Amino acid sequence: VIKCKAAVAWEAGKPLSLEEVEVAPPKAREVRIKIVATAVCHTDAYTLSGADPEGCFPVILGHEGAGIVESVGEGVTKVKPGDTVIPLYIPQCGECKFCKNPKTNLCQKIRITQGKGLMPDGTSRFTCKGKQIYHFMGTSTFSEYTVVADISVAKIDAAAPLDKVCLLGCGISTGYGAAVNTAKVEPGSTCAVFGLGGVGLAVIMGCKVAGASQIIGIDLNKDKYAKAKEFGATECISPQDFKKPIQEVLAEMTDGGVDYSFECIGNVGVMRAALEACHKGWGVSVIVGVAAAGQEISTRPFQLVTGRTWKGTAFGGNSLLVWGLVTDYMSKKIKVDEFVTHTLPFDKINQAFELMHTGK
């Protein structure tokens, strides 16, 4: 058993508490990882807020991490102690019908236990002050050591800087993959990206790499425009600057609507606007943001009858992206360093959440 520091969420709506936790050794087909760096994501905040129907407490949150394998359980062949890895919140077992279908990355092998905050055998590897602590998204990267299923790790280049590539554990892969993998943006196309946070910037980067000729960034916070243009946005607009709905503005700007739109906020009203900003006959809108529990999307069916497509994506539609993106980053084909705005010590994790909530 390893004793280490972890940021524990004891209950919903309260700040994280830095505690000493005990991390049990990995069982069969499990891997214990020394987490070197982790990022914070709105999904962590969503669960912490109490809005997540799958939220279990007390829990160790975090799902954008990178680290070194400390030890492995019986039967683990993919990785060995000393390997550099990124934990995957959507695993790749390679055996279930989802993994065998090239149309999806939504491996279901450990989905039920993962959703309950437990390891595949139905137990937890974390304890604190004599209490069982739940796992989160199969990763729990807000701990100096964590245990994950062996199908939930991507072994990566040992030379990759972990304080940067940890972002490939969710945000960058999700946005980039939404553009190149889910939407399959083509050269010369027009794109609109709603929400210019980390995921939105990654979508812009993906659209640019795919050869889009016009990439319009949409956000209420104009402080984000310079960064969006650095990543490839050709222009940025705010819905507050217009008297008419943003979808009408975009239709006018692009001669009838964009070829591809992406919702990176998790707001059902914006999801509708993103679909309706698409061009009749072929426009595709991809939902990337996660809306709160119980919310529903709506539009007039005629929007779809007249040839628009509504799609969704998780983790960029392909967990295998992580390996490729590390390679692309190391060969300077994609930006990663530029996504990092602040680097804080572990005990300032609540401050990191504050910075995220203020859009900084």
Nearest to 4 by CA among 113, 125, 176: 125
* pLDDT value for 51: 86
Tokens of 215: 């990439």
The alpha carbon dihedral of 200, 205, 210, 213 has a sign of positive
Residue 222, CA distances (Å) to 68, 211, 237, 288, 360 in order: 39, 25, 8, 21, 12
* pLDDT value for 74: 98
Tokens of 331: 């060969």
For the chain, residues with pLDDT lower than 70 are 319
CA–CA separation, 347 vs 239, rounded Å? Answer: 38
pLDDT, tens digit, 9 for 90 and up, residues 57-74: 999 999 999 999 999 999
* pLDDT value for 53: 84
* pLDDT value for 321: 81
Task: Identify whether the C-beta of residue 69 lies closer than 8 Å to the C-beta of residue 156.
Answer: no
The residue written with tokens 């972890």 in the block is 6
Domain ranges of the chain: 2-170+317-351, 175-312
The topology (CATH level 3) of 2-170+317-351 is Quinone Oxidoreductase; Chain A, domain 1 (3.90.180)
* pLDDT value for 138: 97
Architecture of the domain made up of 175-312? 3-Layer(aba) Sandwich (3.40)
The CB density around residue 176, as the number of other CB atoms within 10 Å, is 28
* pLDDT value for 52: 85
The one-letter amino acid at 250: L
Q: Which residues of 126-158 are buried (b: 16+ CB within 10 A; e: fewer)?
A: bebeeeebbbbbbbbbbbbbbbbbbbbbbbbee
Tokens of 56: 């279990």
Note whether 2-170+317-351 and 175-312 share their fold: no
pLDDT, tens digit, 9 for 90 and up, residues 14-34: 999 999 999 999 999 999 999
